[in-house]
Amino acid sequence: MPSLKGQVATPEGIVGIEEREFQLELFPECRKPSPRGMFVTFEGGEGTGKSTQIKLLSDYLHSIQINNIQTKEPGGTEIGQELRSLLVTGDKDKFDAVAEALLYYADRRIHLTNKIWPALNEGTWVLSDRFADSTVAYQYYGYDKKVSKELLDDLYQIAVGDFKPDLTILLDLEPKIGLERSFKKAINMDVKETRHESRGLEFHNNLRNGYLEMAQLEPERFVVLDANKNIEQLHIEIVQTIKERFKL
């Protein structure tokens, strides 16, 4: 952040004028009109059923007149789709975890500025299949902490600022089961999006434990649900969670 000169009172407290202008330019989310939509993210390893649950939740929210969009990372925007194909297809070792983190953050920044923040500012809820927790789970914990956590924290500050999901639903599942589901799904796909699935079980166990650790550190944001339940039961639990969290 640039150094502060004059100060100005804003809904977010007293900040330097230069900082405020800088924030408004780079982080349009700072305008936070009221009411803005809620930002709900779904996280989890491979094959945990996030996309199915997001669709069911979206239908439920529409049924109670809550405007919402479904989106995902990587690839929630047209440009992001190109980054997605670079990131999730091909040889698992074609670039390293630092390059991956930078590309995921490029996708995230485009996703925020072109889709997430504009929707939230219109009062629309955004349901996202993955967000920044995925980068910590995959690029930090998955790679056995070979990438520095400080680098990922800095990237978060640069690209996302102080913005955070209002709720993160972590679908937790034994990686063996999730990977089996995921490979089965890939057999029916034209383009094989299995770059991360092809890493060993240790990578996936690491990232699962990482997710659980993150959830423990931020209990006010995370809710952990057992993804081994059947689709309907899990949906009921997600709706209950949403009702409690947002007093619906």
20 lines the binding site for ligand TMP (CB under 6 A) = no
111 lines the binding site for ligand TMP (CB under 6 A) = no
The residue written with tokens 């996302």 in the block is: 160
Handedness of CA 9, 12, 14, 16 (dihedral sign): negative
| 197 in Cβ contact with 72 (< 8 Å) | no
76 lines the binding site for ligand TMP (CB under 6 A) = no
Q: How far is the CB of 12 from ligand TMP (least distance, A)?
A: 27
Burial of 131 per CB tally in 10 Å (0-12, 13-18, 19+) = buried
Q: How far is the CB of 11 from ligand TMP (least distance, A)?
A: 30
204 lines the binding site for ligand TMP (CB under 6 A) = no
Nearer to ligand TMP, 19 or 211 (CB): 211
Give phi and psi for 32, each to the nearest 5.
30, 70
| 125 in Cβ contact with 233 (< 8 Å) | no
Cα distances (Å, whole numbers) of residue 64 to 44, 208, 235: 27, 33, 15
Q: How far is the CB of 29 from ligand TMP (least distance, A)?
A: 19
Q: How far is the CB of 39 from ligand TMP (least distance, A)?
A: 15
DSSP category for residue 140: I
* Ranges within 125-164 binding ligand TMP (CB under 6 A): 129-130, 134-135, 138-139
Stretch that binds ligand TMP, among 26-34, 68-76, 158-166, 227-235 (CB under 6 A): 68-76
Q: Is 211 helix (H, G, I), strand (E, B) or coil?
A: helix
73 lines the binding site for ligand TMP (CB under 6 A) = yes
115 lines the binding site for ligand TMP (CB under 6 A) = no
Report the candidate in 28, 51, 26, 32 with the shortest Cα–Cα distance to residue 41: 51
DSSP count for the chain of H helices, then E strands: 10, 7
196 lines the binding site for ligand TMP (CB under 6 A) = yes
168 lines the binding site for ligand TMP (CB under 6 A) = no
Q: How far is the CB of 155 from ligand TMP (least distance, A)?
A: 10
Nearer to ligand TMP, 204 or 235 (CB): 204
Among 20, 36, 72, 115, binds ligand TMP (CB under 6 A): 72
| 228 in Cβ contact with 215 (< 8 Å) | no
Which stretches of the chain bind ligand TMP, using CB under 6 A?
46, 72-74, 88, 104, 129-130, 134-135, 138-139, 193, 196
